Amino acid sequence: MSSSIEAYVAKVDAEHAQRLRVVGAATGDRWGGGMAQRLSADMSRALSPHMTYVASLLRQDDVLLDIGGGAGRNALPLASHCAEVIDIDPSPGMRAQFEATAAAAGITNARFVQADWVTATGVTGDVALVAHVTYFVRDIEPFVRKLHAASRRLVVISVLSEPMPNRYADFFRMFHGEAKAELPGYRNLLPVLWELGLLPEVRVFRSELVASRAAPNREEAVRQALDGGWLREDQTEQARTMIEARFDELFVQDQQGVHVRRIHGLKEVLVTWDTGRPLA
């Protein structure tokens, strides 16, 4: 029988292989430009419920590592709760947005390390935060082992109850005529942690991430969907026709805006463990 780690790797590989076959290889910095702006920190907003809990775990002398922290959506608002935040992310576009937001907000205890986590060197902290990153991590065992080794006190992993990258699975199926291979979520992550000898705590919170991705109107919802990475550029107009014809099957609207139906009402799953004991 395959281990949980092997099953996790297989899911990531299957999604990558299907995307390469159907959509083609991504080019450039997929997380830069408009994506970095959409994922930047809003320093005027109060912390979300699950990030309020993360803040409660921090001590004023802690160094917080935000692994795959991108434009600083979480790290920068948490900077006032600890001694320093370090955002480790490979995207130059995210780095530019992180540094611009930090400068505009006058945050001086935050820095960006442009690197992939598994290959980054010399980065340690007291608490490691990983928010909405593990869906994409193929080498999950070395990723988790390094988290555990680099964190003196605590690791916190945040995932949605349905991975955000899977939000366009229904669009993919309708357009391409085959089920989308989906990236792994908490149901796949927890068995990996158990296999490594961890018994983490799991807490569930109302998610504000989904609400923040709501489109203000029907036209913007369609535009965002067409930019969701599930079709080739030459298929845009054909896909637009399909989406508009099946709009009510794919979207739901509430007072916050227009949401992809598949992810409306999802929860934030927070997985935490202390690093005082060695892994298996």
Neighbours of 64 (CB within 10 A): 31
% of the chain with per-residue pLDDT over 70? 93
Spatial CB neighbours of 40, under 8 Å, sequence gap ≥ 6 = 71, 72, 73, 97, 98, 101
- Per DSSP, the three-state class of 113 is strand
At CB < 8 A and 24+ separation, what contacts does 246-254 make?
246/174, 247/218, 247/222, 249/170, 250/170, 250/171, 250/174, 250/225, 251/218, 251/221, 254/214
Reading the block at residue 27, the tokens are: 């080019």
Which DSSP symbol is given to 72? B
* Report for 17-21, 25-29, 162-166: range of highest mean pLDDT: 17-21
As a whole-number percent, the residues of the chain with pLDDT over 90 amount to 81
Residues 153/235, Cβ–Cβ less than 8 Å: no
Whether the per-residue pLDDT at 204 is higher than 70: the answer is yes
Q: How far apart, in Å, do the first and last CA atoms of the chain sit? A: 19
The H or E element spanning position 268 is strand 267-274
DSSP string, 144-168: HHHHHHHEEEEEEEEEESS-GGGTT
Q: Which two tokens stand for residue 188?
A: 């796949």
pLDDT band per the 50, 70, 90 thresholds, residue 41:
low
Confidence of residue 76 (pLDDT cuts 50, 70, 90): very high
* Residues whose CB is less than 8 angstroms from the CB of residue 272 and which lie 6 or more positions away in sequence, other chains included: 57, 154, 155, 156, 157, 200, 201, 203
pTM of the model: 0.90
* Residue 33: predicted pLDDT: 52
Query: What average pLDDT score do residues 62-73 get?
Result: 95
Q: Report the C-alpha gap between 167 and 93 in whole angstroms.
A: 23
Instruction: Say if residue 20's pLDDT is above 90.
Output: yes
pLDDT for 38 equals: 56
- 237/199 Cα distance (integer angstroms): 48
For 46, the 3-state DSSP assignment is coil
Do residues 58 and 78 make contact, with C-beta atoms less than 8 angstroms apart? yes
**145-190: per-residue pLDDT in tens?**
999 999 999 999 999 999 988 999 999 999 999 999 999 999 999 9
